[in-house]
Amino acid sequence: MSSIATQLQHRTGRAVLDALAHVGRFAGLVMEMIRGLPEWRIWLPRTMQEAYSIGVGSLFIVILISSFAGAVTALQAGYQFTGNIPIYVVGSLVTESIVLELGPVLCGLILAGRIGARYAAELGTMRVTEQIDALESLGRAPSSHLLIPRVLGCLLMIPILVIFANVMGVLAGWAAAKSALPISDQDFIYGARVFWRPFDAYYSIIKGFFFAGAIGLISCYMGYTTQQGAAGVGRSTTGAVVTASVIILLLDTLLAKLLLH
């Protein structure tokens, strides 16, 4: 019995130490990036390349996912709202659901998979093939060459992709509602405007920024601290996607509590 208790204590202690080590390394990485900010001649052109790559490369999948989300929301709303509920409420529901929740969250989760996995795998491979050591050996800071451009690229493009997701989601929801429900354009627009507040759009973009930070920082951290060969790269990639996804959902809850109440 005492042996089980000792083992439990040992494992708990190890988990706490591991978590603290991660926090310390993560803080160190963020500090490294802050110190690299004055080297703007290096990170600025690379940031533009990353932003272009994120934006162009992710636009199709973001539009696809948000369009399906908008269409399904409209169709399910039509199925549920029977009896005395006015049909224009479908417009309210689609717009608010997409802008407040589905647009930013689905966009964040998709990009955590697409961008997060790519960054973690790229940086992890660079770590295990000594390319990051090579950069350091040349007197160059990995933060300004590799990390800052990726994180800023995310911060620049992901909120823009969230705007695209919102617009496409609402338009697809509108089209789906019109095709399957007895709702006119005027009803949908009225419904969309009746509960609309300008802050809803800001809230959506604020979420996009937070999710972008989570995706950029977590995937860069996971990739940059990769150890032990190809298996390590695999672990970092999976870890980056899972951790970024969980953090996105946590941030989603936290921001709803802080900004909507």
Partner 1 sequence: MIEIKNLAKRFGATVILDDVNLTVREGDTLALLGPSGTGKSVLLKHIIGLLRPDSGEVIVDDQHVELLSRKDLSTLRRSIGYVFQNGALFDSMDVFENIRLGLTDQKEFRNLEYAKERIAECLRLVNLPEDTQRKMPAELSGGMRKRVGIARAIAGRPKYVLYDEPTSGLDPVNSDIIDALIMRLDTELNVTGVMVTHDVRGAFRTADRIALLTGGKIIAEGTPEEFRASDNPEVRAFLERDFELASS
Which residues make up the interface to partner 1 (CB under 8 A)? Answer: 35, 126, 129-131, 133-141
Closest distance between partner 1 and the C-beta of residue 175, in Å? 41
Closest distance between partner 1 and the C-beta of residue 132, in Å? 9
Judged by DSSP in three states, 207 sits in helix
Q: Which is nearer to partner 1, 40 or 202 (CB)?
A: 40
Closest distance between partner 1 and the C-beta of residue 123, in Å? 12
Distances 66 to 94, 95, 203, 233 between C-alpha atoms, Å? 11, 12, 17, 30
Closest distance between partner 1 and the C-beta of residue 133, in Å? 5
- Report the number of secondary-structure helices (H) and strands (E) in the chain: 11, 0
Q: Which is nearer to partner 1, 133 or 185 (CB)?
A: 133
Q: Which is nearer to partner 1, 128 or 168 (CB)?
A: 128
Q: Which two tokens stand for residue 129?
A: 């093939």
| Amino acid (one-letter) located at 155 | L
Q: Which is nearer to partner 1, 122 or 252 (CB)?
A: 122
> Which residue, among 19, 31, 85, 68, has the nearest Cα to 243 in the 3D structure?
19
Q: Which is nearer to partner 1, 76 or 131 (CB)?
A: 131
Taking the C-alpha atoms of residue 62 and residue 102, their distance in angstroms, rounded to an integer, is 11
Q: Which is nearer to partner 1, 20 or 250 (CB)?
A: 20
Closest distance between partner 1 and the C-beta of residue 140, in Å? 7
Closest distance between partner 1 and the C-beta of residue 228, in Å? 12
| Amino acid (one-letter) located at 232 | G
Q: Which is nearer to partner 1, 22 or 178 (CB)?
A: 22
Closest distance between partner 1 and the C-beta of residue 225, in Å? 15
